[in-house]
Amino acid sequence: MTRSPEQIAADCESIYYDLEFKPARDWKAAEPGRKVVGFVPVFCPREVISAAGALAMSIVGAGDWLEVIRGDAYYQSYLCHIPRSIVELAVSNRLDFVDGMLFPSTCDVIRNLSGMWQMLKPGSFVRYVDVPQNYEPEIGGRFWEGELRILAAEIGKLTGVAVTDDSLRESIRIWNENRAAVDEMYLLRRDRPDLAPTSEVYVVLRAGNVMDPASHTKLIREYIATARTSKRAAVDSSRVVIVGAFCEQPPLALIKTIERSGCFIVDDDFLLVSRWYTAPVAETGDPFKALANAFVKHTIPTAVMYSPKTGRGGALIERVKTARAEGVIFAAPSFCTPALLDQPMLVDGLEKAGIPYTAFKYAENTGQFQPIREQTGTFADTMKLWSAV
Partner 1 sequence: MTRTDVLKDDSQQRQKDLIGGYFTRLANAPKTGHKTVATFVPGNLTELISCFDAIPILPEINALQSGMRKLSGNYITEAERQGHSEDVCTYVKCDIGMFEGGNIGPTGEALPKPDLLLLSYTGCFTFMKWFELLREKYGTPSVMLHVPYQGQGEVTPEMRKYVVEQLERVVIPALEHTTGRKFDIDLLREKLAWSSKAEDDLVKVWESAKHRPSPIDGYFGGVYYIGPIFTAFRGTQEGAEYYALLRSEIEQRIREGRGPVTPEGEMKEEKFRLVVEGPPNWTHFRDFWKMFTDEGAVVVASTYTKVGGLYDRGFRHDPKDPLGTLADYCMGCYTNHSLPNRVDLISKYIEEYSADGFLINSVKSCASFSAGQLMILREVEKRTGRTGAFIESDLVDPRYFSAANIKNRIESYLQMLEQKRSSVAGAAR
Is the omega angle on the peptide bond into residue 163 within 30 degrees of 0, that is, cis?
no
At closest approach, how far in Å is the CB of 74 from partner 1? 5
Q: Which is nearer to partner 1, 113 or 252 (CB)?
A: 113
At closest approach, how far in Å is the CB of 127 from partner 1? 7
Chain residues in the site for partner 1 (CB under 8 A)? 73-76, 78-79, 83, 103, 105, 107-109, 111-116, 118-120, 127-130, 132-134, 136, 138-140, 142-143, 146-147, 150, 303-304, 306-308, 310-312, 332, 334-338, 340-345, 347-348, 361
Three-state DSSP state, 137: helix
Q: Which is nearer to partner 1, 61 or 262 (CB)?
A: 61
Which amino acid belongs to residue 122? P
Task: Specify the DSSP class assigned to residue 372.
Answer: H
At closest approach, how far in Å is the CB of 80 from partner 1? 9
Q: Is 375 buried (19+), middle (13-18) or exposed (0-12) by CB count in 10 A?
A: middle
Distance of alpha carbon 117 from alpha carbon 127, whole angstroms? 9
Residue 253 CA, chain-centre distance (Å), reads 17
At closest approach, how far in Å is the CB of 234 from partner 1? 37
Q: Which is nearer to partner 1, 139 or 235 (CB)?
A: 139
Q: Which residues contact 369 (CB under 8 A, 6 or more apart)?
A: 253, 254, 257
At closest approach, how far in Å is the CB of 111 from partner 1? 6
Q: Which is nearer to partner 1, 83 or 193 (CB)?
A: 83
Contact 199, 256 (CB under 8 A): yes
At closest approach, how far in Å is the CB of 34 from partner 1? 25
Distance of alpha carbon 176 from alpha carbon 270, whole angstroms? 19
At closest approach, how far in Å is the CB of 134 from partner 1? 5
Is residue 21 left, alpha or beta, with left meaning phi > 0 and alpha meaning psi from -120 to 50? Answer: left
Name residue 263's beta-bridge partners: 238
Q: Which is nearer to partner 1, 137 or 280 (CB)?
A: 137
Q: Which is nearer to partner 1, 77 or 368 (CB)?
A: 77
Q: At what angle do helices 313-322 and 337-353 cross, to 10 degrees?
A: 70
Task: Specify the DSSP class assigned to residue 295.
Answer: H
